A and B are shown apart, each in its own frame.
Chain A
């Protein structure tokens, strides 16, 4: 099961990256009442990180067997 182990390892990295981007002082960099592309900066940042996490997880667990 070395492949399964590798997937788990990558998921941990995604988790840590997410925790860092969403739950660390990094967040305060974007927590400002300004607009970017006409959208509140914080919302834009959160949804971007969120999407990136989902893409990363989907990529990590993708099924190569097919």
Chain B
């Protein structure tokens, strides 16, 4: 039989098991084999979100409002999808800045403000204390129910018992002890509480198993599955109320939003999600594992609620107790005991973590600033680590006793029942400064203070005071008719805004005022230097760049002072160890040789922040370092520099690529120029050579003739003939060089008219025929076109024809030489070919013969050529839109062909012109 002693024993055994587990995990951590590094443990520890309020309350809410309990879990599920954005960022920031709590986080963001940290702490304590009270009530309530087994007897009113007979009191004391043992093991509040987190994760498993056990028992043992329950509930008329819509869309949305915010902003949630996080990998797992946990723990809520209503129909049994009372009703004592343990898990997990989080905040953000003021910013030269521990331990006691007191005071009152959502609404006030702080640089300390204060006051007025009034602690008058009878100021229909439920109403006004005040006050002036520095550290936390540390502090400090200071709070041995480690990281030998530069000072401040919070750490460091404050402009300069380095390096990369391209282009152009220069040199050299060759003969023979008057007449005549012919060659060369220069530079004088190719051919053949005959060759022609009209310069075409014919005459076979001229029409073009039967031109040399002065190199003896005839001919033909090419096989002669576009049959008038 279950009874008081057994339940108490089991409760102690369970807590003892938690102690053992926590102790074991701590030992493992000390050996470097952390259990809580596992992503699964992290996700389970996040499930501290599911308190007794979930464990017992979900069924109650389901019985009252159908699906209305679900937004509390759907909101966090959706929010989890965004955790890789903001939770990751919060974790990254908290690790680098050694953030100890949500109060510390917000205070640090807005320039390490004591005032802001204090305000956040006050809001958190006021908002969350009733929530802790609720857990104590749940534990003592479930205890009271269980000891009356097998009767289903609801507990009496707690206030009727003296404190020393109140279970809740002992529960509170016990939890305080546990929390102190495992929550203040380390001085550094930013360090992980290994044992504690392991215990919390374990508790999450226990409460899930217990609730599932009840669910399975109810659904599959008592009834034949969910369908059976639904059918029977429908028959009994219990189903329809639960199928009614889950409140309005406003409630559905506002509850979800609240929960989505609370799952990270509640002090205990911040503690497990951010402070206790050990790797970013954990967040990735939690993104789906935590929502899965929420789904599983809610799977049996509806069946339990329906069965409760079926079984306890007409009895005065609170739906919040169905989870426990159903097993009792069916005489399942071990299941009832297990269920009780599950509820104990849910309650104790929440209380322990919440208390640690709150005590850290109270110590670092309320007590420390007071102490610092008393010490006049100069700490006494003693070991303060014990004092710190004492403060934190006392804070745990005080918070739990306050929670207990609230429970004693409030009891069954309304204020306790609705407190879950009221707490959520309180911490939701952190959301604007939190989200704004993560993504907006413009937020200032004053803006944050204004926003938080406004939101907090509106929350008190629209939610807390009405809850007091409904509990009968305040006259209900102001609720009904507004303060002093002013209807417009009715707390739950502010300015006449009615028709919403109280939570939605509060959320709208409080967050509205909060955001407005935060934005407006922040925008009233620019952030100062300190705010700008912190804004950059927070907003740019995920950017991959060196943290902006050095340069943001200017002053002088002694390293020994810094070590002594941190030693006073952390213990001397630890401080020395940390500094030595830091020196090693900076690749310096010993702590004493550390430079007291900005980086070292920042390190000391961060180290200290882990113990006493960022704002106090700043004051402390300032007490041993002579700081020259930086102006806003200077900070902006440095930040600009830092943030611009990346931009610069990008730009630099871009520029250097551009430069590389430009260099390549320049190189190419240069090579081209050099080539052109080379060509010009070659040309000059060739011209020189071509000029000197005839000059050599002329000079030699002239001198011979001049020196020797006795040379016989025949010889004299021969020499003179050579002189004349070489002079002609010289003249031709000079003319052709000038001609080519004119053509190439575009200064040639082109006449353009309709020209009859037949006529040109006839004239040029007549002019060259004698030359060919003289050399023993013969000339034939095949004119296949009657009228071949092209638009060109008659004289220039003659020049080309004469050049081709004289070349042919030169190169035709020495014996039986022949030259053939051929005119044909091909589509719109006229083709003129001049063929010889000489030795031809090797294919490799064919393109070269159109280059200037190539004739000599091309190999055939060509005594009188200038090497410019073909290049000039090609220029001429191309000028009139044609082409000049050569076809040759060595040994079979060469055929030079030029093609010109035909201009059609010439009309009479153009014919006149042509003539």
Contacts and interface: CB of A to CB of B under 8 A. Distances in A.
**Do A and B assemble together?**
yes
B291 A33 contact: no
Contacts of A58: 287-289, 292
Contacts of A53: 77-78, 81, 291
Interface string B295-331: 1000100100000000000000000000000000000
B81 A57 contact: yes
A11 B287 contact: yes
11 contacts: A12-B81, A15-B81, A18-B77, A22-B74, A22-B78, A38-B228, A38-B231, A53-B77, A54-B292, A54-B295, A61-B288
Given A11-B81, A46-B70, A33 B240 contact: yes
A11 B291 contact: no
B475 interface: no
Given A33-B244, A54-B295, A8 B253 contact: no
Interface in B235-253: 239-240, 242-246, 252-253
Contacts, number: 89
Contacts of A39: 226-227, 230
Interface of B: 66-67, 70, 74, 77-78, 80-82, 84-85, 226-228, 230-231, 234, 239-240, 242-246, 252-253, 256, 284-285, 287-289, 291-292, 295, 299, 302
Nearest to B292: A54
A63 B81 CA distance: 16
Contacts of A63: 284
Interface of A: 4, 7-8, 11-12, 14-15, 18-19, 22-23, 27, 31, 33, 35, 37-40, 42-43, 46-47, 50-51, 53-55, 57-58, 61, 63
Contacts of A15: 78, 81-82
B85 A8 contact: yes
Given A39-B227, A43-B67, A61-B287, A8 B295 contact: no
A38 to B, nearest CB: 3
A28 B794 CA distance: 94
Nearest to B234: A35
A22 B292 CA distance: 17
A50 B291 contact: yes
Contacts of A57: 80-81, 287-288, 291
B602 to A, nearest CB: 27
A19 B79 CA distance: 10
Given A43-B302, A57-B291, A61-B287, A18 B230 contact: no
A35 B81 CA distance: 30
A37 B227 contact: yes
A11 B82 contact: yes
Contacts of B292: 54, 58
A3 B244 CA distance: 45
A4 B326 CA distance: 48
Nearest to A22: B74
Given A12-B82, A61-B287, A33 B295 contact: no
Contacts of A61: 84, 284-285, 287-288
B81 A14 contact: yes
B226 A38 contact: yes
Q: Which of B67, B234, B302 has the most CB of A within 10 A?
A: B67
Contacts of B253: 23
Nearest to A17: B81
Contacts of B239: 40
A28 to B, nearest CB: 8
Given A39-B227, A42-B67, A54 B81 contact: no
Q: Which of A4, A50, A51, A58 has the most CB of B within 10 A?
A: A50
Chain B contact residues: helix, strand, loop or mixed: helix
A51 B66 CA distance: 19
Contacts of B81: 11-12, 14-15, 18, 53, 57
Nearest to B73: A50
B77 A50 contact: yes
B289 to A, nearest CB: 8
A33 B243 contact: yes
A21 B252 CA distance: 13
Nearest to B244: A33
Contacts of B231: 38
A23 B251 CA distance: 11
A35 B479 CA distance: 41
A7 B291 contact: no
A7 B152 CA distance: 52
B252 A23 contact: yes
A39 to B, nearest CB: 6
Given A23-B253, A51-B295, A18 B284 contact: no
B220 to A, nearest CB: 14
A46 B227 contact: no
A18 to B, nearest CB: 5
B91 to A, nearest CB: 15
B305 to A, nearest CB: 11
Contact of A40 (B70, B74, B242): B242
Contacts of A54: 77, 288, 291-292, 295
A39 B234 CA distance: 11
Nearest 7 Cβ contacts at the A-B interface: A38-B227, A58-B288, A15-B81, A33-B243, A57-B288, A61-B284, A18-B78
A29 B730 CA distance: 105
Contacts of B252: 23, 27
B667 to A, nearest CB: 35
Count chain A CB atoms within 10 A of each CB in B230, B246, B288, B289 and give the residue with the most: B288
Nearest to B67: A42
Contacts of A7: 84
Residue with the highest number of chain A CB atoms closer than 10 Å, among B66, B244, B287: B287
Nearest to B289: A58
A27 B66 CA distance: 15
Nearest to B226: A39
B256 to A, nearest CB: 7
Contact of B256 (A4, A8, A23, A38): A23
Nearest to B283: A61
Contacts of B80: 57
A31 B245 contact: yes
Contacts of A55: 288
B85 to A, nearest CB: 6
A63 B287 CA distance: 13
Nearest to B291: A54
A16 to B, nearest CB: 9
Nearest to A53: B77
Given A46-B74, A57-B288, 20 more contacts: A7-B84, A11-B84, A15-B82, A23-B256, A37-B227, A38-B226, A38-B230, A39-B230, A40-B302, A42-B66, A43-B302, A46-B70, A51-B295, A53-B78, A54-B288, A57-B80, A58-B289, A58-B292, A61-B84, A61-B285
Contact of A50 (B242, B289, B295): B295
Contacts of A4: 84
A40 B243 contact: yes
B590 to A, nearest CB: 38
Nearest to B81: A15
A21 to B, nearest CB: 10
B129 to A, nearest CB: 32
A11 B3 CA distance: 51
A23 B255 CA distance: 11
A63 B107 CA distance: 36
Contacts of A18: 77-78, 81
Nearest to A50: B295
Nearest to B257: A23
Contacts of A42: 66-67, 243, 246
A40 B230 contact: yes
A14 to B, nearest CB: 5
B70 to A, nearest CB: 6
Contacts of A46: 67, 70, 74
A38 B77 CA distance: 26
